[in-house]
Every structure is written in structure tokens, then in C-alpha cells.
Chain A
């Protein structure tokens, strides 16, 4: 083999390894880091797995938010207004747009009792600006598909 061919062979091998490695790593990483989203009825009827990181979302039920007076622990109920409710427990600071009646997303795990232990609570224009999973439920007035910049809070 002449040197030119040899170097080209190395190059091809190098690229092949890079492509294969990336694809394999992507698949493995996907397996571990995908969070499925479940609406309230699937949380209630047991479709959503217990003790695995998932996302769930719905509306914060009016009058359901109760705070622990001594800490940042808070519990509230998420509902789809169609009879499926579940209780979420969270310790920390809720986003600005967390309100009763507001659509939100929680990320965390369901415990054995079916209570959602949230590690993150997302509402519009905070970390995720606008939780896409909720858009089917929290569709807004028309023109909200803009950049993070335009995460408008048209109620």
C-alpha cells in the first residue's frame, strides 16, 4: 500500500470509529436520560412507573396548596379537571408563575403511595421558559410560539 492510500485508510477508520462511538454513546445516554411525560390520568391509573425519574404535569388544583410553616416544604394537588388528581410534594422555591389554576410540570419520582416527590417544578418562563409538554393543555392566545424572549404571560 502506498503511503497516500494508507493515510486515507487510517482516516476512514478514524471517522468510522468516531461515528460508531457517537451513535452507541447517544443510544446509551438516551436510555438513561430520557424523561417520559405523563398527564394526570396516566399517573393515577398506574401507567407511569414508580420510583423512576419522570415528568408529569397538569393544573394546580385551586385551594390545594399547603405549606409547612417552618420550612420550604409545600404540597399541592395536580389535576386535569377531568377527575384525575395526584399529590405533589416539593421542597424549595416555586417559580414566579406558580399559581393555583396554572399549568405546571413537575420532575421527580412517584413513591409507593403514589405521591409525586418533585425535585423540580417548572412553570412558564423560568428554567424551561415554557414547558412544551403542557402546551396541549395550556394553549395560549395564539402567538406564543416565539423565542424565549417572547414567553408572554397572556393569561
Chain B
């Protein structure tokens, strides 16, 4: 057996890696294709959690970039992402709207008292009807709408630091409701030149 033939296994392995790499890099399809992506947000009419007399409709989501977050008290991941939503509400000018999905109103109010309320208002979707219209398959889900009410981004699952940094922050900045911190400006050094 010649010496070079000992590298045959390595060669086969590298070939597989190369094929796999090419294959996967060809795959530049949209990340999570959503039924609603680049579509107008559906029409709806629903009650508001903390204001039983008020009704809201799609008109209430227009005119300003809006983030719609679908949540519920029975959803542990919603609990996990809540802090991030609080931060987003504080840092940006986006209109953050909640959809309380298939939940008990009393529990949901309690939740907002306990953990803080990042939302401008919370749409009540007790029977999940709006959720069906939105194509929601679980909670949490987060939709980003432009001022015209078109869905420009959708996140299925938790909004965490990484999603904020990589997906949300750039888009919100583009829409003009958030200013990306300049890399250096974040830690103001007192005058000392470097």
C-alpha cells in the first residue's frame, strides 16, 4: 500500500465537507418563510386588556413602525423574553403592542403588574381568532410592521439578546425608531485621548 493511500479517508471526508459546504451556502432562502411576510397585517377588531371599554382595529397599528408581540401567561418562553421586551420598550421608539393569546384576562393583568408592562396596549385574543389570521402557531411570536402596516419581519420563538442585536436593532434603526450606538461612543471616556 502506498503512503498516499493512507490519506484516502481524509480525502473522502474533505470531499463530504466541501459538498456540504457548497450545498448549504447555496441555500440562501428566506429564514423563516411566513405566510404573512411582506403582506399587509390582517384586519381585526378586538378588545384591550387594561381598558375593557376600548376597541382597537388595524388602524391603531398604522402610521408608525410597530412591533406586535404575541404572548400568554401559560408560555414559559414568554416569561424568558419579557426582560428583553422591557428593554426594547425603553431603548426604542417603536410602538410595542401585545397580543394576549388564548389566555385568562385576570392572569394576564396580574402578569403585567408583576413583571412590568412594556406594551402601549395589549390586544385581547382570547379565542385565538386573531392568532389564526396572523398565522400564529405558538407563543411567543413577534411581528415587525412598517408604518403602512406591512409585516417586514417575523420571529417565531424567543426574542433574546442575539435576535435583538442581529435582527431587530438593525431593522428598527432603518425604520428610524432606534439609534444604533456608535461602537466607540458607548463607553464615554473622560477626555483622555488615546
A touches B (Cβ under 8 A)? yes
Q: Which residues of A contact B (CB under 8 A)?
A: 62, 80-82, 101, 103, 136-143, 154-155
Q: Which listed residue (A80, A82, A139) contacts B138, Cβ 8 A?
A: A139
* B32 adjacent to A154 (CB under 8 Å): no
What would 27 A/B residue contacts be, using CB atoms closer than 8 Å? A62-B132, A80-B35, A81-B135, A82-B35, A101-B128, A103-B137, A136-B32, A137-B137, A138-B138, A139-B32, A139-B157, A140-B137, A140-B138, A140-B156, A141-B75, A141-B77, A141-B139, A141-B156, A141-B158, A142-B157, A142-B158, A143-B157, A143-B158, A154-B76, A155-B74, A155-B102, A155-B138
Q: How far is the CA of A154 from the CA of B135 in the complex (A)?
A: 16
Taking CB atoms, residues of chain A closer than 8 Å to B128 are 101
Say how far B167's CB is from chain A's closest CB, in angstroms.
14
Q: Is the interface of B mostly helix, strand, loop or mixed?
A: loop
Q: Which listed residue (A62, A82, A141) contacts B157, Cβ 8 A?
A: A141
Taking CB atoms, residues of chain A closer than 8 Å to B158 are 141-143
Q: How far is the CA of A135 from the CA of B145 in the complex (A)?
A: 24
Chain B residue at minimal CB-CB distance from A142:
B157
* B77 adjacent to A139 (CB under 8 Å): no
Excluding A141-B78, A155-B102, 20 further A-B contacts by CB distance (< 8 Å) are A101-B128, A103-B137, A138-B138, A139-B138, A139-B157, A140-B138, A140-B156, A140-B157, A141-B75, A141-B76, A141-B138, A141-B139, A141-B156, A141-B157, A154-B75, A154-B76, A154-B138, A155-B74, A155-B75, A155-B138
Say if the beta carbon of B140 comes within 8 Å of chain A: yes
Say how far B57's CB is from chain A's closest CB, in angstroms.
20
Say how far A84's CB is from chain B's closest CB, in angstroms.
11
* B74 adjacent to A139 (CB under 8 Å): no
Taking CB atoms, residues of chain B closer than 8 Å to A62 are 132
* B33 adjacent to A143 (CB under 8 Å): no
* B132 adjacent to A81 (CB under 8 Å): yes
Q: How far is the CA of A81 from the CA of B158 in the complex (A)?
A: 24
Size of the chain B interface, CB-CB below 8 angstroms: 19
Say how far A122's CB is from chain B's closest CB, in angstroms.
16
* A136 adjacent to B33 (CB under 8 Å): yes
* A81 adjacent to B77 (CB under 8 Å): no
Taking CB atoms, residues of chain B closer than 8 Å to A136 are 32-33
Q: How far is the CA of A142 from the CA of B156 in the complex (A)?
A: 7
Q: Which of B121-146 contact A (CB under 8 A)?
A: 128, 132, 135, 137-140
Q: How far is the CA of A62 from the CA of B138 in the complex (A)?
A: 16
Chain A residue at minimal CB-CB distance from B140:
A141
Chain B residue at minimal CB-CB distance from A102:
B137
Q: How far is the CA of A154 from the CA of B70 in the complex (A)?
A: 14
Taking CB atoms, residues of chain A closer than 8 Å to B75 are 141, 154-155
Taking CB atoms, residues of chain A closer than 8 Å to B78 are 141
Chain B residue at minimal CB-CB distance from A79:
B132
